[in-house]
Structure 1
């Protein structure tokens, strides 16, 4: 009799345990309490820490930020589930990297981005640049395409209209009006070339990392939105509440106020200007 009574208790307990387990799983699936961000060391990690995290915390999230020193691992960490979102790349790089590595990643929203600038210890303005001056430019095609666009906007060169931003090279220059001698180096080394060359085209993140003031440049990039950095997530997460909350805090007046106070010189995306 005792054995029968014990067996009955066990049998009756099974539905209760199953119901409790199912209820807990549903909560985990529908409500995310912790968001794991990733960003490259420098201004975009600072943007996550100073602007995005505090506003997400006001919505009840716990948010962590992992810093990276390269442009490969943040996307791989996102794709394999070690991160929930990252911030470090523009649209062209994101789409190219995802395609080459067979990853299903999507952008959420563009953010204010540090523009590339022309820096010089030799000249005080673009008009005083002399024939035969030397200029450091990035040796990777994507950043070089941006540099060529800036120089064309400033009237120093003319570029082939069919230039591919993923394969740009100095051969795409059709007219070099001041016979500038270009010195190609890795983008991260360009701040040093301000000392050794007449001019250098320095991407904003590297300029800031080197302690340079964006507003000291002779000219700043009028950056197309495709070159502005953006928050990226796994495509499957695009419609989840936590991604919608990330987008909402970046669209907020509070976020823009922090940008204006802490990130002077950063170019705002088109949606912020409308």
Structure 2
């Protein structure tokens, strides 16, 4: 019995040592990682990686591959399965909702400058020209609709109930409508085209850029809450990995900000960049 007990203890000890060695090997591999596969939706955020992030990471010795996606589901699923190492396309509210719905462990590294929603018009050249009873197309989804109402309040065209929740305000929270605006909810992707048929249109930044609209031509740009700024996201298990730290350092660099100022004009900077 003593010999059997000693044999069992010996086998357990060997197993523990092997497990520790394997764990250390995995951690070492993560620390030595020199290739980053970045996922992004095609358009401005793929461009942001290419122009403002990739060159800095390459200076640090990384090989950066950018994989473009055409929807908002696959970038997170590909991240969770390890097909990519990081992604850039989503804001905080979407990230938290998606991760909870799909039981994923995802975490943000840092927020980046993001194209704001704007009020556009082919009829008026300024908000002062807006006439009584003008029509305005707004997104028909609650999250983006709330953003549109907040812009209109900032512009002085409406007043919202101060007790209303900022992230979920809707037409029912409008307590004063100075110009008697007529709200026309439509699909967000159709808002750039709506500029031709309505007096005003509240267009999210990504759809404005996809339609080749100039952000700086908006009559009013959104004072974007930080929750709506896009994030660079990784698996939570990689949050402290060296490659994640190097991505964050790249975004915090003066070189990154200089590229944003030069090539991404109109993008709203997150709070950490403006302090």
TM-score by length of 2: 0.87
Partner residue, 2:186: 185
> Structure 1 residue 176: deviation in Å?
2.2
* Shift in alpha-carbon separation, 1:162–1:64, aligned structure 2, 3 A: farther
Partner residue, 2:175: 174
- Alignment partner of 1:113 is 2:114: yes
Partner residue, 2:248: 247
Question: Whole-Å Cα distance in 2 between the matches of residues 28 and 244 of structure 1?
Answer: 15
CA deviation profile, 1:32-66 (whole Å, cap 9, x unmatched): 11111111111111101111111111111111111
Partner residue, 1:214: 215
The answer to whether the 8 Å contact 1:141/1:165 transfers is no
Partner residue, 2:262: 261
Question: Whole-Å Cα distance in 2 between the matches of residues 232 and 189 of structure 1?
Answer: 28
Question: Whole-Å Cα distance in 1 between the matches of residues 214 and 175 of structure 2?
Answer: 32
Question: Whole-Å Cα distance in 2 between the matches of residues 168 and 69 of structure 1?
Answer: 29
> Structure 1 residue 265: deviation in Å?
0.9
Question: Whole-Å Cα distance in 1 between the matches of residues 175 and 208 of structure 2?
Answer: 28
The answer to whether the 8 Å contact 1:117/1:217 transfers is yes
* Shift in alpha-carbon separation, 1:272–1:29, aligned structure 2, 3 A: closer
Matches within 5 A, 1:66-145: 66-145=67-146
Question: Whole-Å Cα distance in 1 between the matches of residues 26 and 240 of structure 2?
Answer: 19
Question: Whole-Å Cα distance in 1 between the matches of residues 71 and 142 of structure 2?
Answer: 17
User: Which aligned runs of 4 or more in structure 1 are off by greater than 3 angstroms?
Assistant: 21-27, 160-169
66-75 vs 123-132, greater mean Cα deviation: 66-75
- Alignment partner of 1:33 is 2:34: yes
Partner residue, 2:161: 160
* Shift in alpha-carbon separation, 1:181–1:145, aligned structure 2, 3 A: same
The DSSP-based 3-state class of the residue aligned with 2:201 is strand
Question: Whole-Å Cα distance in 2 between the matches of residues 182 and 236 of structure 1?
Answer: 45
> Structure 1 residue 172: deviation in Å?
3.0
* Shift in alpha-carbon separation, 1:213–1:250, aligned structure 2, 3 A: same
Question: Whole-Å Cα distance in 2 between the matches of residues 113 and 105 of structure 1?
Answer: 20
Matches within 5 A, 1:52-71: 52-71=53-72
Cα RMSD, aligned residues only: 1.9
* Shift in alpha-carbon separation, 1:25–1:78, aligned structure 2, 3 A: closer
* Shift in alpha-carbon separation, 1:100–1:162, aligned structure 2, 3 A: farther
Question: Whole-Å Cα distance in 1 between the matches of residues 63 and 253 of structure 2?
Answer: 19
The DSSP-based 3-state class of the residue aligned with 1:196 is coil
The DSSP-based 3-state class of the residue aligned with 2:103 is coil
250-259 vs 179-188, greater mean Cα deviation: 179-188
* Count of residue correspondences: 255
